[in-house]
Amino acid sequence: MIWTLLGGMTLATVMTGAVLGAALGLTGFAILYFFSGGATNLGVQAVWNTFNSYTLTAIPLFILLGEILVASGLARNVYRAMSPLFARLPGGLLHTNIAVCTLFGAVSGSSMAVAAAVGSVAYPELTRRGYDRNSVVGSLAGGGTLGLLIPPSLSLLIYGAFTETSIGKLFLAGIVPGLIAAAGFMVWITIHSLRRPELAPRNLEPAVGLGQALKGLVEIWPLLALIGAVLGSLFAGLATPTESAGMGVAAAIILGFAVGDLTLAGIGRALMSTVTTFAVIAMVFMGAVILAQSISVLGLPQQLLGQMAELGLSPLMVLLAIIVIYILLGMVFDGLSMMIMTLPIVFPLLTGLGYDPIWLGVLITLLIEIGMLTPPVGMNLFVLVGMSNNQVTLGDAARAALPYWLVLLGVIALMTLVPTLATGLPSLVKL
């Protein structure tokens, strides 16, 4: 009966056009009202306690940091500085797309912000040089997902705030899988470009020596300064996640005015975009907190564990089923909403089966990244299709991003076989 109400009411409210947060919250209130003696005040109290959390204030700050990076145009100088390092490799500047997205992922917790910041520079530059448009968009869509995995990560931050898991350790856990994903993307680009050299023209400009290319890296100092301000202060124990996010925003504004194209109007647009984005996330977060409280009060995760024990399902089989569900949900929900919506059930279920909470946070982030590349709601695809002025269709973008989708799935498989890829670094640091 409870499961019927949980699924049926959520589906019914979403079908009426209600926003996802309202659908989750109403379902949670209904469960509390009908199955907990009308104790709807428990949902209100849970929301109050959660939104009074100091850690939660880091979310809008990290969103603002990503928006300021887009508005300041800092990606342009960084992209040009790194291009000579990869210009002569098979795939050429497609590798630069991945490398710059990795660097920008270390200062922006948003996948779409990274894709937009790097794409605004890379797409016109590479298409002007004769690169295949679909390949350019595919590499940017894949590289953009690194913004959610390379710390600071918005999804890991929300996961940590929701599950009361150490955010510092979650950030550390994302580093190795993020670098493995970036390396996997570059391997694919190399293989694909060797098979089809016409996709990435080479020898268009005089060769640049290694020494000269390395000297050109001086131009990326603004981004390194931002990484130091955000991650350096956090991992050194000098600042909390909220304080490090605030330092990053301040540093981004200063650098944006000093060496970028940031204007007061640009800051205004960044603030408005931040408010809009956070309002959407906060609404879903609020509804998920109410639903989580109702599920916790009734002990539904424990019931699920008992039922799975009776069916004889192994923890690995349960995990595989969860992965399939996330991939399917990624076709109809944006990543962060999907994560917040499912955490009330998935987190207690999988941790109850013995999965490490830190490892689980990275796994869910990887599944969100896959959703960012999965049509019809793959947000990275939409951002880049719009940036191409529809010169690349959504279908073409999805096909070009498929190999990167498969690489992310491969990272999940590798991390499942070797959990220490995610848990190794956090276990070495006391945060």
**Can you give the pTM of this predicted structure?**
0.80
Please tell me whether residue 430 adopts helix, strand or coil conformation: coil
Q: Encoding tokens for residue 366? A: 């990887």
CA 342 to centroid of chain Cα atoms: 16
List phi, psi (to 5°) of 129: -85, -5
Q: Find out whether 68 and 112 touch, Cβ atoms under 8 Å.
A: no
Span 3-34, pLDDT tens digits: 565 566 566 655 555 566 777 777 778 878 77
Q: Find out whether 124 and 86 touch, Cβ atoms under 8 Å.
A: no
Q: How far apart are CA 277 and CA 261, in angstroms?
A: 23
Q: How far apart are CA 174 and CA 195, in angstroms?
A: 32
Q: How far apart are CA 236 and CA 199, in angstroms?
A: 43
Which pLDDT value is given to residue 187? Answer: 94
List phi, psi (to 5°) of 16: -75, -10
**What single string gives the DSSP state of each residue in 176-234?**
HHHHHHHHHHHHHHHHHHHH-GGGS----S----HHHHHHHGGGGHHHHHHHIIIIIHH
Helix, strand and coil in the chain, % to nearest 5: 80, 0, 20
Domain boundaries, the chain: 54-428
Which pLDDT value is given to residue 306? Answer: 65
Torsion on CA atoms 133, 384, 174, 243, rounded to nearest 10: 140
The identity of residue 77, as a single letter, is N
Q: Find out whether 370 and 146 touch, Cβ atoms under 8 Å.
A: no
Compute mean pLDDT per 10 residues along the chain, 431 residues long, and list them: 60 57 76 76 77 75 81 77 77 86 79 79 83 89 86 86 87 92 93 85 58 62 80 77 84 85 88 84 78 72 64 83 84 74 84 91 91 78 78 85 93 94 85 59
Q: How far apart are CA 189 and CA 124, in angstroms?
A: 19
